[in-house]
Structure 1
């Protein structure tokens, strides 16, 4: 007896079979007592000790959290709306500066586009990571008006196929 979504995410479930019963699960919308989510231990801490055994582990978990602009030119991972907003502002400022410098030096349009290549790469990489925050492919950013969704829409509140939640929530909704 189980909930289908739980079975699909359980460590005991493989190829349509529950390895606890060695049978196909019977879905009755009741939580299974054998349910263990893949990658997460749901055991309660019964020790009087804290969950973290040393002060170094506390700082390690702080470092594990994604910092802003950790890998700005990478197309892997997820970013928050704040980082995407800042990225967009940075690229616009960079483009304006490049335009003024190239224009003031009587440069050609080709020279301006050459200097804008890093800006394009940066904003496409950041856009792909923002798409990943919604559990979508980076190619979604070429859909008209999807950029507005990336600027204003909240990301998934849990770990998805592109990585953990950059806000650190990791709560199933």
Structure 2
């Protein structure tokens, strides 16, 4: 999780996207509570640049995470310009296989826990068990 967080390439899972959004909201809330004023009331130029230095990377990180999540469901990153598209990002399951944006993030996570020779057998058995549920 959180590999290359500032890169537009790759895919992230729903879990990582939710965690990114909660971390962003927590950081911004904490930032404004410590500032004790909102961005609209900042009049001093030095305080304004301080806000830009803090919010700039946070906004970029949220933008990049949304693009990566869009890649996970097999869509273009440009769709994040539509505010209603975020509902799809939060709730739609990612593509279960490799797409042209990269490998399934869940499989990448499994590779760190399960050796490569056992991973293929594990995934095939998991698919068979899913077939029994239907």
Q: Check if 1:150 corresponds to 2:89.
A: yes
Asked if 2 retains the 8 angstrom alpha-carbon contact of 1:131 and 1:150, the reply is yes
TM-score normalised by length of structure 1: 0.54
Instruction: After TM superposition, give the deviation of residue 131 of structure 1 in Å.
Output: 0.3
Measured in 1, the distance between the counterparts of 2:35 and 2:54 equals 9
Measured in 1, the distance between the counterparts of 2:34 and 2:48 equals 12
Q: How many residues align?
A: 103
Q: 1:133 to 1:150 in 2, by over 3 A?
A: same
The corresponding residue for 2:2 is 69
Q: Which has the higher relative contact order, 1 or 2, with Cα contacts under 8 A spaced 6 or more apart?
A: 2
After superposition, the C-alpha distances for 1:32-68 in whole angstroms (9 at most, x for unaligned) are xxxxxxxxxxxxxxxxxxxxxxxxxxxxxxxxxxxx0
The corresponding residue for 1:50 is none
The corresponding residue for 1:119 is 58
The corresponding residue for 1:89 is 22
Residues 100-119 of structure 1 aligned to structure 2 (within 5 Å): 100-103=33-36, 108-109=47-48, 111-119=50-58
| The structure with more helix, counted as a fraction of residues | 2
The corresponding residue for 1:166 is 105
Instruction: After TM superposition, give the deviation of residue 138 of structure 1 in Å.
Output: 1.2
User: Unpaired segments of 5 or more residues in structure 2?
Assistant: 108-122, 128-134
Residues 133-148 of structure 1 aligned to structure 2 (within 5 Å): 133-148=72-87
Q: What is the aligned counterpart of 2:11 among 75, 78, 93? A: 78
Asked if 2 retains the 8 angstrom alpha-carbon contact of 1:141 and 1:147, the reply is yes
RMSD: 2.2
User: Unpaired segments of 5 or more residues in structure 1?
Assistant: 1-67
Q: Give the SS at the match of 2:106.
A: coil
Asked if 2 retains the 8 angstrom alpha-carbon contact of 1:80 and 1:167, the reply is yes
Q: Give the SS at the match of 1:128.
A: helix
Instruction: After TM superposition, give the deviation of residue 110 of structure 1 in Å.
Output: 5.2
Measured in 2, the distance between the counterparts of 1:113 and 1:93 equals 17
